[in-house]
């Protein structure tokens, strides 16, 4: 079994998986190594980061110095997203409102591995509070599971993908078992400055956790811990781990990684799954709907072959949607029938409801103490080295803050290789030219810091997705229409973050950029952080949720949702690690139930 075309599919599989990113990749890995025959549908083309990642090109070797362009909309010319972005040709989405603050930016990736090729690799565990937020402050929803249910899978995922970081013993910031985390890289100058001066403000600055290898994985012992009693899986996983090299601080991780040092589904999950002989992958397969039989069970997926333009069907005993929360909602709502007139698994009317994104805001400044730094290699591990976990839980509990949930702080500011944009403000070098301009450039370069908040959004009834009644994509499929609104909790949180950043920069002896005048001005648009979750919430009651605690839809027992769509809340922790942990947990449940004949 391998990467195939539609004409090469088997008559029936055990499982069909829609999506090849964090959730789909993890699901394929778990099921295929356990012996289940799987087929994966990917809406984009095949992609091999070993051959295609431009790891060793300097920004000046790219058009416009590597700056963003219409087809490279986020991180510039070398962005790992080779097909996709805020807009996908022929596959539009619409907005329910013309107001800028009520629009949702939807990032979609059309390539094997999905967003795992592009993301920042920040891998944070949800803490115990994050699974029971309503029990703490009365807002939003509790998960039907707790931290103790997911903890073993967090550990297994960290061991498999490789996560650097440190156990810091902070409230609701869980430690990992001893020996699981890889050593964190040293702090950059800006990190150490923030750590030093943050102490005076009571702001902790600690090593962040990211899915990047700072040393090779222990391929001799880890596979047996992940797959006890399964010698074939151990052998395949060991071989895959041995192909991954440790990071040598070359370029930004968002380019991808040709040496497999960072986590991508394409370099970690899919190779051993394919090597098992139990996985077929069909690229350019745009899922339209889940097919349901007369008995109410899912029987497969109807998709459009983008190469031939034809409708195709693939049959399976179990269907897993892991296409990203928005795409999964689109597929469910388009899976209409006489039995499911409002869309599949939507008897509660909650498919598409309670979509969330991370609260985002940022602020930078210039630090005189960091001027005239000697030239040094400061690329680091391709992303953040240090960060600040949310540290004001007790202040919130005591009612000292006027917003309910927190944020973490991502720390930027290095002497990394400059791109096509000026690395400093024109105001700092106004009037300088020639030799004087070069002197000023050397003086200021590397003296800037940048802080970004990633905060928790409380789910609200005004943020959801439904089908546009008239607009269709180029395949004739109804598209999503987005509805969006931030609550006052998020707006006030964004203002608090900006004030915190300004205070830290000032304490460092620097000059912060002007802070936003209001929460509306401070906060990033919905979806802009690319952390959308929700839309098919899990819960303890079929009347008030779409899935149960196993990501299994209440109404269709052999249909599972294994991206972020089932998330009842969106903690300040980036969602990817939790997506993988839940997918592994659900995969084990599917294996168990299949062996019992229940699926």
Q: What is the DSSP string of 226-281?
A: HSTT-HHHHHHHHHHHHTPPPP-S-S-GGG--TT--B--TTTTTHHHHHHTT-EEE
Distances in Å between the Cα of 521 and the Cα atoms of 325, 411, 490, 492, 524 are 27, 21, 12, 11, 8
Check residue 63 and give its pLDDT: 86
CB proximity list for 121: less than 8 A, separation 6 or greater: 210, 211, 212, 253, 262, 263, 382, 383
Q: Other CB atoms closer than 10 Å to residue 56's CB: what's the count? A: 10
| Nearest Cα residue to 372 out of 341, 415, 407, 328 | 415
Check residue 216 and give its pLDDT: 98
Location of structure tokens 């370099």: 267
Structural domains present in the chain: 177-207+359-455+487-522 (3.30.410)
Check residue 1 and give its pLDDT: 57
Check residue 536 and give its pLDDT: 98
Check residue 250 and give its pLDDT: 85
DSSP 561: E
The CA distance from 165 to 568, in Å, is 27
- 237 and 220 Cβ atoms separated by less than 8 Å: no
Burial of 365 (0-12, 13-18, 19+ CB in 10 A): buried
Location of structure tokens 């109404």: 555
Helices (H), 68-214: 128-131, 133-137, 147-161, 189-201
The CA distance from 181 to 442, in Å, is 37
Per-residue pLDDT in tens (0 to 9) along the chain, 599 residues:
599 999 999 999 999 999 999 999 999 999 999 999 999 999 999 999 999 998 888 888 888 888 887 777 778 888 888 899 999 999 999 999 999 999 999 999 999 999 999 899 999 999 999 999 999 999 999 999 999 999 999 999 999 999 999 999 999 999 999 999 999 999 999 999 999 999 999 999 999 999 999 999 999 999 999 999 999 999 999 999 999 999 999 888 999 999 999 999 999 999 999 999 999 999 999 999 999 999 999 999 999 999 999 999 999 999 999 999 999 999 999 999 989 999 999 999 999 999 999 999 999 999 999 999 888 888 899 999 999 999 999 999 999 999 999 999 999 988 877 776 777 777 787 888 889 888 888 899 899 999 999 999 999 999 999 999 999 999 999 999 999 999 999 999 999 999 999 999 999 999 999 999 999 999 999 999 999 999 999 999 999 999 999 999 999 999 999 999 999 999 999 999 999 999 999 999 999 999 999 99
pTM for the structure as a whole:
0.97
* Beta strand 559-561 pairing with 448-455: unpaired
DSSP 69: B
Distances in Å between the Cα of 583 and the Cα atoms of 37, 260, 274, 552, 598 are 17, 22, 18, 11, 19
Q: How many CA atoms lie within 13 A of 482 on its CB side?
A: 26
Check residue 416 and give its pLDDT: 79
- 426 and 332 Cβ atoms separated by less than 8 Å: no
Check residue 336 and give its pLDDT: 94
Encoded tokens for 370: 């960091």
Hey, is 212 helix, strand or coil? strand
Compute the CA torsion angle 451, 456, 460, 466 (nearest 10 deg): 70
């Amino acid at each position: 079994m391998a990467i195939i075309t539609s004409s090469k599919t088997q008559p029936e599989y055990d499982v069909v998986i829609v999506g090849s990113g964090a959730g789909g990749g993890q699901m394929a890995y778990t099921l295929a190594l356990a012996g289940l025959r799987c087929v994966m549908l990917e809406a984009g083309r095949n992609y091999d980061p070993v051959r295609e990642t431009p790891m060793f090109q300097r920004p000046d070797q790219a058009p416009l110095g590597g700056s963003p362009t219409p087809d490279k909309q986020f991180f510039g010319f070398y962005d790992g997203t080779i097909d996709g972005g805020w807009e996908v040709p022929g596959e539009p989405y619409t907005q329910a409102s013309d107001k800028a603050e009520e629009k949702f930016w939807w990032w979609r990736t059309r390539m094997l591995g999905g967003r795992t090729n592009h993301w920042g690799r920040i891998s944070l565990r949800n803490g115990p509070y994050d699974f029971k937020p309503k029990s703490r402050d009365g807002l939003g929803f509790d998960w039907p599971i707790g931290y103790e249910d997911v903890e073993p899978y967090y550990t297994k995922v960290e061991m498999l993908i490789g996560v650097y970081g440190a156990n810091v013993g902070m409230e609701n910031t869980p430690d990992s078992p001893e020996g699981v985390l890889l050593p964190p890289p040293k702090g950059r100058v800006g990190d150490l400055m923030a750590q030093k001066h943050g102490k005076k403000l009571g702001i902790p600055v600690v090593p962040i956790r990211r899915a990047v290898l700072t040393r090779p994985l222990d391929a001799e012992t880890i596979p047996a811990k992940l797959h006890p009693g399964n010698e074939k899986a151990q052998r395949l996983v060991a071989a895959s781990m041995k192909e991954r090299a440790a990071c040598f601080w070359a370029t930004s991780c968002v380019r991808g990684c040709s040496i497999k040092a960072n986590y991508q589904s394409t370099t970690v999950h899919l190779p051993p799954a394919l090597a098992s002989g139990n996985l077929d992958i069909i690229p350019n397969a745009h899922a339209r709907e889940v097919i349901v039989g007369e008995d109410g069970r899912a029987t497969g997926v109807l998709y459009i072959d983008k190469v031939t333009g034809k409708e195709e069907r693939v049959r399976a005993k179990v269907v897993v949607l892991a296409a990203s929360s928005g795409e999964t909602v689109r597929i469910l709502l388009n899976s209409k029938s006489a039995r499911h007139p409002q869309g599949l698994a939507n008897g509660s009317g909650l498919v598409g409801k309670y979509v969330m994104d991370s609260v985002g805001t940022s602020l930078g400044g210039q630090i005189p103490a960091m001027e005239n730094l000697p030239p040094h290699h400061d690329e680091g591990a391709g992303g953040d080295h240090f960060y600040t976990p949310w540290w004001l839980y007790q202040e919130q509990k005591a009612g000292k803050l006027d917003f309910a949930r927190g944020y973490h702080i991502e720390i930027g500011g290095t002497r990394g290789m400059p791109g096509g944009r000026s690395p400093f403000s024109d105001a700092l070098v106004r009037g300088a030219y020639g030799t004087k301009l070069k002197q000023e450039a050397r003086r200021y370069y590397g003296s800037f810091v940048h802080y970004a908040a990633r905060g928790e959004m409380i789910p609200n009834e005004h943020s959801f997705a439904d089908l546009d009644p008239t607009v269709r994509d180029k395949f004739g499929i109804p598209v999503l229409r987005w509805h969006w609104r931030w609550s006052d909790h998020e707006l006030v949180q964004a203002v608090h973050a900006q004030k915190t950043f300004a205070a830290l920069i000032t304490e460092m002896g620097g000059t912060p950029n002007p802070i936003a005048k209001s929460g509306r001005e401070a906060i990033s648009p919905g979806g802009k952080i690319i952390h959308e979750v929700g839309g098919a919430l899990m819960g303890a009651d079929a009347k008030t949720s779409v899935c149960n605690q196993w990501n299994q839809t209440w109404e269709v027992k052999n249909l599972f949702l294994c991206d972020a769509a089932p998330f009842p809340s969106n903690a300040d922790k980036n969602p990817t690690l939790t997506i993988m942990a839940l997918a592994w947990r659900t995969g084990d449940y599917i294996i168990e139930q299949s062996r019992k004949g229940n699926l």
